[in-house]
Structures are given as C-alpha cells and as structure tokens.
C-alpha cells in the first residue's frame, strides 16, 4: 500500500480513474493552496508540481509525476533523492501549445494585432503588406511533442519546415530538413518564422543572443512558447526596436509575471500572452495528464518501465 498525493484539481471521474490504476493505495487530494510541506514529505508518490523546496530530497518519495512537460525546477541538486523517479507530462500539451503558437504566427503575419489596436483607437487604418505561411520557411527549434505538432500544422499550410534537435535521427513526418543544434546558426538566416519550444536548462539559457537575432531576416517573426529564459528580455526588445526582426510573439518571459514597467509592453510589434498556451485551458490537457499518471501508477506499482522518464542531465524526456 502506497501513500499517493495528488496536487491537481480533479473531477470525481478523474479520481476514480487514478484510484482504479492503484487499487489498495491511500490517496490524498490537495489541490492548490491545500497542499502543505507535511503532505509532500509524507508521500511515496506525488502527482503534481509541488514547490521543489518542500520535497527536500525526501527519501520516502519514490515517484514524482509532474503535470507539466517542463521539469527544470526539479532536476536541480538537492531537490529529489537519487532513488526518486521523475516523469513528466510530455504528450499532453502538443495540441494546445502548438495551436496557440500557430495562432500567434498568423496574427503577426496578417498584422491582426495592429488592427485590434486600431479598433480600440476607433481608427479605420491600413497596416500595409502582410506575409503568408504558404512557401515560407519555418524553423522549429525543439522537436518534441509540441514542436512536431506545430511543424505539421504549418507544413499543412504550405510552409517549408526545418527542424532543430539535439540528437540525429530520421527526419520526422512534417519536417523537410532536420538539423542538429550545432547547425542552428547556419539555418537561422533562412527562416521567415522561428518557433522556439526549448526547455529551461543551462544549455538553453539566453540561447537567442543579440548575434543570433542580428543573423535573422529583418522580416522574420520569432515565437517563443518554451521557456522565457531562452532569451533575454533586453535582447528581444532591442531586436524589435531596431528592426532586426519584424515581430515576435511570446507566451513566456524571463521574469514571470512580466513586470508592469517592462519596455516590452509598449512594443507594437510584440504580442504577449501570460504563459497560458497550456495551463489546463484546453480540457484535453487534463484528460491526457490523468491518462499519463494512470499509466505510470500501474507501471510503478508493477515494476514496469515508466512513461516520460526525465533525464536529470538534460531536463528532457529520455
């Protein structure tokens, strides 16, 4: 019998699914502010994203099943004991985040963000020339579940897709050319759209430097739905102000919430959403998280291989 802590707001049917996957176990449900350090320390299995400091390398914790795809706060030294397995929710967010990124892409290409501004000003104005995904070159940096979903969507709309990933392998469906991260600087100048879906690791910190923005087309659009730490807000603001790129859309920021006095708020060629591309706003996300959690409960309790095991060295799913 295991003590299982669930740090998620669930409907009764979700609880029934979890409990059916782990018969005989003791479940404690503590969504949101109901969670306490004592509950975290007493759990053998946790489903959710508790404050990392509360885990404090608990030797009692056997499995931490995150509800997020990002695992970076939990791979830092001193958070999890060496005996604790860490799994994430890769596969739950592909539909939601890729569609959000696609919407941002089209809004910026068609200048709909400017027309919304004009509407609020009661101004019947023409914002000028627009661009199209048809025959555009789209660079997808990070070819996990979300990156591949976005690649296939823009490919269906006529784009040429270049994918960038860490390890070599066969070119996946929806991608025309596959490159390794070491080749990024070679392909950056080709891209009309750059979609970043990188995790937050030491290797991706301030990944998009001023030099890389300078290498992009001045007509390029930059979309970031991965981690805000991949680009300095000052570097992004400079690239947008100086016309090194045409526009950007970000669902993440280096500091969240984005400070009220940040100069980014005032840039008309920047579209900002407050880290909501996933965040359970699409009902399907919770369904997928529960399904992944059920699979891993069954696997852990029967000593079978787990789904979505996180590599502590990289922060990615193995």
* Residue of 317, 268, 306 lying closest to 91 (CA atoms): 317
User: Count H helices, E strands: the chain?
Assistant: 10, 12
Cα–Cα distance, 230 to 193 (Å, whole number): 17
Catalytic residue among 60, 152, 275, 298: 275
Residue 168 φ/ψ, nearest 5 degrees: -75, 160
Catalytic residue among 14, 227, 300, 307: 227
Catalytic residue among 11, 256, 268, 287: 256
Whether 227 is a known active-site residue: answer: yes
3-state SS assignment for residue 91: coil
* Residue of 191, 111, 95 lying closest to 149 (CA atoms): 95
3-state SS assignment for residue 298: helix
Whether 116 is a known active-site residue: answer: no
Decide: 2 and 43 in contact? Cβ < 8 Å.
no
Cα–Cα distance, 245 to 5 (Å, whole number): 46
Supply the residues annotated as catalytic: 227, 256, 275
């Amino acid at each position: 019998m295991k003590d299982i802590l669930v740090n998620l707001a669930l409907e009764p049917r979700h609880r029934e699914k979890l409990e059916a996957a782990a018969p005989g176990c003791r479940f404690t449900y503590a969504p949101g502010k109901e969670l306490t350090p004592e509950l975290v320390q007493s759990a053998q299995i946790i489903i959710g994203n508790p404050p990392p400091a509360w885990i404090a390398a608990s030797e009692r914790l056997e499995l931490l099943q995150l509800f997020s795809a990002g695992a970076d706060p939990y791979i830092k030294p001193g958070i999890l004991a060496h005996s604790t397995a860490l799994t994430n929710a890769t596969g739950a967010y592909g539909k939601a985040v890729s569609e959000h990124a696609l919407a941002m892409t089209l809004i910026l290409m068609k200048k709909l963000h400017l027309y919304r501004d004009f509407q609020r000003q009661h101004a019947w104005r023409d914002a000028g020339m627009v661009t199209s995904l048809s025959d555009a070159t789209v660079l997808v940096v990070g070819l996990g579940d979300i990156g591949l979903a976005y690649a296939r969507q823009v490919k269906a709309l006529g784009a040429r897709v270049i994918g960038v990933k860490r390890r070599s392998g066969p070119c996946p469906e929806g991608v025309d050319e596959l490159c390794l991260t070491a080749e990024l600087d070679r392909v950056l100048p080709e891209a009309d759209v750059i979609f970043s879906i990188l995790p937050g690791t030491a290797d991706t910190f301030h990944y998009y430097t001023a030099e890389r923005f300078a290498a992009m087309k001045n007509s390029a659009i930059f979309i970031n739905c991965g981690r805000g730490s991949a680009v300095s807000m000052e570097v992004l603001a400079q690239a947008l102000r100086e016309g090194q790129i045409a526009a950007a859309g970000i669902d993440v920021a280096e500091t969240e919430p984005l400070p009220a006095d940040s100069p980014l708020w005032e840039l008309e060629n920047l579209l900002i959403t407050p880290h909501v591309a996933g965040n359970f706003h699409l009902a399907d996300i919770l369904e997928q998280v529960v399904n992944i959690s059920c699979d891993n409960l069954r696997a852990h309790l029967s000593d079978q291989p787990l789904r979505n095991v996180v590599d502590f060295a990289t922060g990615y799913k193995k």
